[in-house]
Amino acid sequence: MNHHHSLKLRIFVLFFLGLFLLTSKQAAAANNTDQPMFWTWLDYRPTSNFDSLCREMQYLGIDGVMLNAPTPDDYRVAIPIAHKYGIKVVAWLWTLNLEHDREQILKEHPEWFSVNRNGKSLADTTAYVGYYKFLSPVLPEVKNYIKEKIQSYCDVEGLDGISIDYNRYVDVVLPTTLWPKYHIVQDREYAAWDYGYHPVAIQKFKDQFGYDPREQKDPASDLKWRQFRCDQITDVANMIADVVHASGKVMAASPFPTPKMASRMVRQDWGKWKLDMVFPMVYSNFYTEDPSFIRDCTIENVHDKNKMTTLYCGLMASDSDVMFTEMDEALNHGAQGIAIFTVNSIRDPKIKEKFKNYTAQAKAKKLANNGVMPIVGKNRVERDPFKKEGIMNLITAKIQQLVSGSETSSNLPAVKLSSFKKVASYDVTERYLVSDKWSNKKFHVTFYFYGGILSGWNVDVAT
């Protein structure tokens, strides 16, 4: 009798367990399609009026926030406020470049920091800016440290997920528009900015491949060495994803514009990351300054992202109409939503009103198409810069400024350009010579194709 009862009980328990697993799996799947279409990144300060910010987001049609708060307890305060306005909260966390505990780690574990090709560690050297203090992803101690940190955020009740940022190395190449700021030209990979040479990483690579990458004539062109470093970053991302998923939360990231570009620029091969959502930072003003960059990246990302991942597009918010053109480029070519950096940048009441209408229309369009944004227009990457009218206009305007020595291109005398003649081609760089027929001045126009798409350009006076 007892045996019969216990068997029934076991069958009963197994049935319910199966049902539970099925429903939790369905819940996780539903969770993914159920994500907000419009997001913003936001820094949370305990002193800020978060309630009024949430009200503003709700008005604009932004239903998700990637929130960067100093401690798990700050999220415990913020989440109920966001939920009051129907806004989902994901913790926006810096992983390999620490934000909130940088000084402590520098003091206690200087051996944890990333090392460049010159053998210099970030513990005692600077790359671009003081706050670039990246940890080496190859060290088990670093991984354990990050894992525990992530778990402490996953324990916050009501938090929807984790979105990782700075899960990469130092930029071996900066976007072209930032070069003048740092007085540098990065037409190829230079040793000072080429990171991932921690002694433990070198040893691990030697054990695996039988040679020291530093002995190569050009370590930058060694594809095995590049991929090895990408894989160290992927390991960290997927370790985090496992913790997040085990906590029943969604996993997201905001990497560089495309997996191919990101692999090249910061060793982020993010198509291999186990993400539920991805928010690539496709900030055209850093790269080509033209919306066609967003279209190219989005088309590429649809193909190169992980199959399990929903693609969004991270864009710069601004008080200008360009923002709407950029959102169109992303949503018409495969992005399922938008994240803006950041809601605080939209100040003009007219733009706010327009944004509110835009989000409402986009959500309706997505809903009417079974929850997927329809592809609009020609859907292939344009790799020929000369076919990009917007970019050629920007280049002509730049030449005009250089001819006249004035910063403003309005009221400047027109230039008459000769045909472009290719004079150099190396790595991802193509350089052309062009002259202005009126002034007889010559110029070099340089194009950069990181990840195989037009990702930057430059104009110099040819001497």
For residues 324 and 230, membership in a common domain is answered with yes
Which of these three, 334, 368, 402, is where a domain ends? 368
Residue 22: the pLDDT is: 47
Strand order in the sheet with 250-253: 310-311, 277-278, 250-253, 161-165, 88-94, 64-68, 38-43, 338-341, 313-316
For residues 332 and 449, membership in a common domain is answered with no
For residues 277 and 164, membership in a common domain is answered with yes
The helix/strand/coil state of 163 is: strand
Which of these three, 368, 397, 413, is where a domain ends? 368
CA angle 169, 174, 179 (to 5 degrees): 145
Which tokens in the block code for residue 196? Answer: 């991932």
For residues 300 and 349, membership in a common domain is answered with yes
For residues 322 and 407, membership in a common domain is answered with no
Domain-located, residue 190: no
* Structure letter (DSSP) for residue 164: E
The domain total for the chain is 3
For residues 361 and 299, membership in a common domain is answered with yes
Domain-located, residue 428: yes
For residues 290 and 427, membership in a common domain is answered with no
How far, in whole angstroms, is CA 240 from its chain's centroid? 17
pTM (2 d.p.): 0.91
Domain-located, residue 64: yes
CA angle 358, 256, 153 (to 5 degrees): 85
Which of these three, 368, 402, 428, is where a domain ends? 368
For residues 16 and 53, membership in a common domain is answered with no
Residue 348: the pLDDT is: 97
Helix (H) or strand (E) holding 90: strand 88-94
Side-chain-facing half-sphere of 106: CA atoms under 13 Å: 17
**Looking at residue 335, which CATH number applies to its domain?**
3.20.20.80
For residues 331 and 454, membership in a common domain is answered with no
Domain-located, residue 204: no
Domain-located, residue 114: no
For residues 233 and 99, membership in a common domain is answered with yes
Q: Which residues of 41-61 are buried (b: 16+ CB within 10 A; e: fewer)?
A: bbebeeeeebeebbebbeebb
Binned average pLDDT, 10 residues per bin, the chain of 463 residues: 51 50 43 82 92 98 97 97 98 94 95 98 95 97 97 98 98 93 90 97 98 93 96 98 98 98 97 98 96 97 97 97 97 98 97 98 97 89 96 96 77 86 95 95 96 95 90
Residues in the chain: 463
How far, in Å, CA of 359 to CA of 338, rounded? 10
For residues 16 and 60, membership in a common domain is answered with no
Domain-located, residue 119: no
Range of the domain at 323: 35-108+132-180+226-368
Domain-located, residue 453: yes
For residues 25 and 43, membership in a common domain is answered with no
Domain-located, residue 267: yes
